[in-house]
A and B are shown apart, each in its own frame.
Chain A
Amino acid sequence: MALPTSREGPTGQMLSAAKTPAPAHGPERREWTEMSELTHAPAQRRSIGGQLLGGSQLVLGAILAVLCIAISIAAPQFYSEPNIIAILRQCALVLIVASGMTMLIITAEVDLSVGASLAFVGCIGMAVLNSTHSLTLGMLAALAFAGGVGLFNGLVVTRLRVNSLIATIGTMMMLQGGVYLFTREAVQNHNRLAIFTDLGAGYVGAVPVPVILAALIFAVAYVTLRFTTLGRYLYAVGANEKAVRLSGLRSERLKLFGFVVTGLCVGVAGMILSSLMNAGQPTAGRGFELTVIAAVILGGTSLLGGRGSLFGTLLGVLVLKVIDNGIIILSWNQDLQMVVPGIVIILATYLDIIRNKANVR
């Protein structure tokens, strides 16, 4: 069974009551069907053409495949092990935050403060690490700060009812300025903890640690969205918040959850980033929020909420990072690293619109 968002199932295959074995119910239940003889509904009007294409992931998967093939033809070293590892490492940071962001956008909210928070988190984590020489405490401080930022965003949006776009732009500005109140320059790494260095640069076997962390977070988020009641409620609140509230569920808490989870993901990513840079950089993470949101949207998650999948987000991250990588190994002008993804986002969204049009009559 596919994700809740995908259009599935062959059309015209009506489930007839006769085909399904009658569920065990008391005789009084069976009477319900009597009146159903009056049933009359207009024929379902669904196009067949639209069904041939799967989800928006199909478009994206095709784009990814074309990219990989094209780049490897032009530059065979694309498929070398070091390059693939490099791409995955690049993907890890984005994927970690994009996992939380996917959940949040599914609830029809968005968080633009993740980039600014990422930089601040790195500085705070590094400072705590320097003074305590404990990765656990540094990590906890990072998570507490980033989770707190998420909680703040969530409360502003759900309690004060400020639109999340505006609220998180406000938070972003506060954090971008606030980090300079905290430190004028990069917080250097004074602790020399090997385990901290491993967080960003270490390997387990051939796989970089950040990739493993990203895979873990991705897996937890994936399972949550697909198999749990919580995941279903997140989709539900994005699809129709009023209906969720009328059904006796606390829609605000679900949104709050999305914000906090996104914050915690930023906490993890911020520590990995500071490990990679061996410092907490107040200037890090500029534009990071755009990359994350671009990946999520590229993956077919609707900004209107209720629609989206983590698998799509994974593809979105891969597409963006393969483009980055391709531009580097083909020795193109590095400034294209911003230009090309911009084109791809518009193109992919347009293709998705075409696909949707084929779906609607």
Chain B
Amino acid sequence: MTADTVLSIPPYTADDQDVVVELNSRFGAESLTLQATRTGMPVIWVAREKLIAVLTCLRNLPRPFVMLYDLHGVDERLRTQRRGLPDADFTVFYHLMSIERNSDVMIKVALAEGDLNLPSVTSIWPNANWYEREVWDMYGIYFSGHPHLTRIMMPPTWEGHPLRKDYPARATEFDPFSLNLAKHQLEEEAARFKPEDWGMKRRGENEDYMFLNLGPNHPSAHGAFRIILQLDGEEIIDCVPEVGYHHRGAEKMAERQSWHSFIPYTDRIDYLGGVMNNLPYVLAVEKLAGIKVPDRVDFIRVMLAEFFRINSHLLFLGTYIQDVGAMTPVFFTFTDRQRAYKVIEAITGFRMHPAWYRIGGVAHDLPCGWDGLVREFVEWLPKRLDEYEKAALKNSILKGRTVGVAAYNTKEALEWGVTGSGLRATGLDFDLRKARPYSGYQHFDFEVPLAHNGDAYDRCIIRVEEMRQSLRIIEQCLKNMPEGPYKADHPLTTPPPKERTLQHIETLITHFLQVSWGPVMPANEAFQMIEATKGINSYYLTSDGSTMSYRTRIRTPSFPHLQQIPAVIRGSMVADLIAYLGSIDFVMADVDR
């Protein structure tokens, strides 16, 4: 029943209808409404009364849907083009993933404005907890049976539900913000941790527990992340991670930006990922528009994405070793990152946030001499990686700190929605670049590093090996870079093709509209997931036939990874928690969006 028994991942089947047949035979075709989308998976509407039965069934099917990949909502009240779909003011969708089928299914539930209630699915998938809290926070949809339904992104004192369409999106639509002493104290009091609220005891049989507030400003919290520890001495009895300090409302912003002008915002989701973040977004938009990009674009995109994977992993490596107390390697990995940035800067003109991919292509062609720079980097890094392995990763103190620390197995990883290196460290060979190739990854020859203990040490070793594999991919890009255009020839690309604008007035008008308003994407839904630097990142776009996205759901890997912390770290020491946090490799911008 679990993926422990999976030996190989079957080839990916988009729109796998098996699950629809299975559900039809179980619940009858009349109780399910199918929605045709470009998401690459069956999208099935079910009634609220049947929701738990359907989800339980999917969880327990032969070849089950083990992972609740995503759960969020949509405010449908302003939709204009949703013919043939059940009436809904609000929708909640459940995106489920099956490893054994290597396919997905999306279940949707329609809700009426006056009755925003749903049963909680936390008993089926434990990681539904935070997702349901976020849906409550953002839409005000109540989940009955949820263990702790409170706000997660917004402060507890917040009024309103930000992702609702009637909630303003810009500061100018609000009264000017002011903070007086009384308000300050109110906010501060609201942030105070009360163990009773979380069902925690202040004292055990023979001892009083200490509640230690680690963060939101702590050198090892990797950003504004707060975790409250219930300690007996230095042993962690329980803990409560608290996120939301880095929340910028990226999903709300997407509803006020044109399809094109949202690209720079994606760079800042996982701010170490750079153009890696552009990739799922532009791929999803291209699915909406029906654009097929030239080979050269795929190769350029893959090469830059792998550069950023290396860059992110190098930062991980340095800080991870620093988290277990060795101060030196981080300076060396930053030197290497500098080298990578030299190449990235020469190609894209920016360093951290190039926002360089475009709908239908990339911003520019590769500059003259790019191959020399890339080759220099590809020759530089392997020696350094060997050195890190020898000097730091084989150090017995480092091993003593991380081997066997914060270990979890494949079953637990899937239950908590863990993806990326954290999942592969448990021995499951699931890398989207192989399992569901996108953007031309099927053309490349590389391996997926695996480990078997699923502990803090394995997660690190895997990432070091992944850097070597990324170098292999970059080398192949270097050798086999195809000739051709760097942009698809399609009217919906951005910026739109301009060559013929000065010849026909009609072309000029179209071009003017495309540039000033931005392209209009056909009403539909599209979805793309990629193997990002920290796990699986995906964009689920809903277009209502406008120049802006109607709903942009950004599913980031770090969010479930942090949710898993208490389940993994109970019973360990404070120092283990630090090593564990380092090994997760998260950034708070990726968690809070």
Asked if A and B bind, the verdict is no
| B-to-A contact residues, CB < 8 Å | none
